[in-house]
Amino acid sequence: DTEVTQTPKHLVMGMTNKKSLKCEQHMGHRAMYWYKQKAKKPPELMFVYSYEKLSINESVPSRFSPECPNSSLLNLHLHALQPEDSALYLCASSPRGGTSGGYDEQFFGPGTRLTVL
Amino acid sequence: AQSVTQLGSHVSVSEGALVLLRCNYSSSVPPYLFWYVQYPNQGLQLLLKYTTGATLVKGINGFEAEFKKSETSFHLTKPSAHMSDAAEYFCAVSDRAGGFKTIFGAGTRLFVKA
């Protein structure tokens, strides 16, 4: 299995809702990432997990809460989002964790298209 | 801090023509360079990468790129464009100084005319 899967594909939520995005990979990768991508822009790094521990948080607002329950699974919990948080949320993984991960390509999922009303 | 500049937000070529997408990087230490492609409503897919060694890197779908340290460039080329190459292309860099975070360029949209 060489895929990164993300669910749901689309999500519409109100500003008071709580929802979660899910990402899964079964390639044995030790680093996993969340990116936010606005239309016609490059992906912006949000969080990096290395060996299931949060290693990078790019000053993301606390209304976004990541979780890595095991080495194959990555969640992004959403609460009290704003309309400007509407975007494509991409999950990615790479084979090695730690600084060695910087040498590696990232494998991206198809993304979750999030709309906040 | 490392950075990436992609020259030209849009490039249009005719089918069968040469594709050239330009990327210049800034890095204080040896960089690791990547080209990714993104088709509409999809995630990114790696085309090719340079870490060390041979400076001419061949990737998937007939693409290649050459690492030129003296010019701080990593331009992407393909000899003959296909309609299926129409997509968004991102150049990216990571290095030790940046904690190995991957920094993406702004992207270049490639249009292929029949």
Per-residue confidence at A102, pLDDT binned at 50, 70, 90?
A: confident
Digit-coded pLDDT (tens) for A59-77: 899 999 999 999 999 999 9
Q: What is the mean pLDDT of residues A20-46?
A: 95
Given this model, what pLDDT does residue B10 score? 96
> Closest Cα partner for A4 from A76, A71, A112, A93?
A93
The reply to whether residue A102 touches residue B100, judged by beta carbons under 8 angstroms, is: yes
The reported pLDDT for the residue numbered A1 is: 66
CA distance A103 to chain B (A): 6
What is the rounded CA–CA span in Å between residue B103 and residue B56? 21
Cβ distance B100 to A105 less than 8 Å, yes or no, reads no
DSSP one-letter code for B18: P
Q: How far is B60 from chain A (nearest CA, A)?
A: 14
Instruction: Show residues of chain B in contact with A42, CB under 8 Å.
Output: 90, 104-107
Which residues in B have their CB inside 8 Å of a CB on A?
32, 34, 36, 41-46, 49, 51, 90, 94-96, 99-102, 104-107
- Among B41, B42, B104, the residue with its CB nearest the CB of A42 is B104
What tokens does B3 get? Answer: 């950075």
- Selection from B107, B63, B73, B83 nearest residue B13 by Cα: B83
Per-residue pLDDT reduced to its tens digit, B86-113: 999 999 998 776 777 889 999 999 999 9
Neighbours of A84 (CB within 10 A): 8
Q: How far is CA A26 from the centre of its chain?
A: 16
For the segment B29-74, what is each residue's pLDDT rounded down to a tens digit?
A: 888 999 999 998 889 999 999 988 889 999 999 999 999 999 999 9
Compute the average pLDDT of residues A49-55.
92
**Category of B74 on φ-ψ map: left (φ > 0), alpha (ψ -120 to 50) or beta:** beta
